[in-house]
Amino acid sequence: MSHNLRLLWGRRGRAAIVVGAGLLLAATGVTAPAALAGTVNPTVHCVLPAGQGEATGPQSMQVELTPENAAPGTQVHAVVTLGTGPANSTATLNDVPTTPSIDLAMSGGATGTVTVTGPTVNIDTVSGQPVQIPTYEGDFIIPNTAQGQVDFTPVRNVTKTVVFGGTYTTTCDVVSGGGVVDSVTVQGPGSEQPTLTAPIGTVRPGYTLNFAGLGYPASSVPAVTLCAAGGGACVTDPFSNSTLAISATGALSGTATLRTTNVPDGSYTVTVTAGGKQASSTITVQAFVPTGPRTVAYNPTTGPLGTVVTLTGTNW
C-alpha cells in the first residue's frame, strides 16, 4: 500500500501535511501582527519536501535572548515564537513528531550564523487550519572571538517532520522585510574552549568518521552537528550512528557515521557541543562519481566446489 505525502510549512509552527489523493493545500497568506519588541515580520520563501512545490508569504518571528550581557564563548538561551505563515493544512493527523529550528545571522561584534533548535514535539494538524507549534526554547554559544554588541537577525526556519517512518525537511528563507530581533552585549576575555580533531580531506556519504578532542566538561554528553561553512543551514540528522563519548578527564573520542543519503556535496562545519562548550572543524563531503562503467573480474574463473574466488573491479 502506498501513500502520497505532502508536507507544507507555512510558518514556525504551521505545518501543512497532506496525505493521500484529493487533498489540496491552499497557500493563502495571513496578515502578520504588528511588530513587538524583539519581533520582525519578514516575507519567507518555503521550499516544500517531496517535490510538493514552494510557498511564499509573511511570517512574524519573535526571539528573546538571555542573558543580555555575556562573555565570549558562553551559552545564550533563546525563546522563539513564530507566527502564522503562508500555508494551511488540508489534512487531519495526530501526534506528528516535529522539530523546529531557526538560523540567526550575527552582525556587529561577531559574524557568522548560529542555530537554535527546539525539542521534538508531537503536533496535531486539522484540515483547513494552520498548525500551531508551541513556543520553543534552545541554546547556542557566542563565538569566542565576539566583542561588543552582537545583533541577531533571523534568516531561515527549518522544520523536520516524521510521517509514516519518513523524515521530511522544509526550509523557509527570509527573502525581504527582515531585521534584528535581539542583541547581546559581549564583554571580557574569551573562555577556554575545547579542541576537536576531525578527518582531513574529502569524505563520502556513508563514511565512518573518527573524532577526538580535549577540554570538554568531564563526562558531559556530546552532540554532533553538520552545518554550512560559517554556520546555519544545518543538515537534518546527518549522522546515522554515533559512538562519541567524553571521559571523566574531558577527553572526546569515538566515531560518527555519515548518512548515505541527503548529505549534499560541499564544505561543512562539523561541531561537537557538550556541557555548554563546543569545538568545530571543517570537512568536505563529496559523493563518489564513477569515471566509467563498472567492471568486475573473477580469479580463478573456474574450479571445483569449494574454490575461493577473488573479485576485483573498478568504479564501484
Which domains are present in the chain?
A: 5-186 (2.60.40), 195-285 (2.60.40.1930)
Other CB atoms within 10 A of residue 199 CB: 15
Element holding 166 (H helix, E strand): strand 166-176
| Selection from 83, 93, 122 nearest residue 18 by Cα | 93
**Which pLDDT score, from 0 to 100, does residue 47 have?**
84
C-alpha cell at 236: 537534518
Distances (CA, A) of 147 to 108, 111, 113, 144, 231: 9, 11, 16, 9, 18
Distances (CA, A) of 91 to 22, 124, 154: 10, 10, 29
**Which pLDDT score, from 0 to 100, does residue 31 have?**
36
The answer for residues whose C-beta is within 8 angstroms of residue 143's C-beta and 6 or more apart is 72, 73, 106, 110, 112
**Which pLDDT score, from 0 to 100, does residue 186 have?**
94
Gap between the Cα atoms of 73 and 170, Å rounded: 30
- The gap from C-alpha 266 to its chain's centroid, in whole angstroms, comes to 15
CB-CB contact of 238 with 258 (8 Å): yes
Gap between the Cα atoms of 30 and 83, Å rounded: 9
**Which pLDDT score, from 0 to 100, does residue 217 have?**
92
User: How do beta strands 245-246 and 266-274 pair?
Assistant: unpaired
The answer for residues whose C-beta is within 8 angstroms of residue 301's C-beta and 6 or more apart is none
| Selection from 70, 189, 196 nearest residue 139 by Cα | 70
**Which pLDDT score, from 0 to 100, does residue 89 have?**
66
Q: Which residues of the chain have pLDDT under 50?
A: 1-36
DSSP annotation of 100 reads E
Torsion of Cα atoms, 234 then 240 then 241 then 244, to 10°: -10
CB-CB contact of 229 with 264 (8 Å): no
94 — alpha (psi -120 to 50), left (phi > 0) or beta?
A: beta
C-alpha cell at 231: 554556520
- pTM of the prediction? 0.75
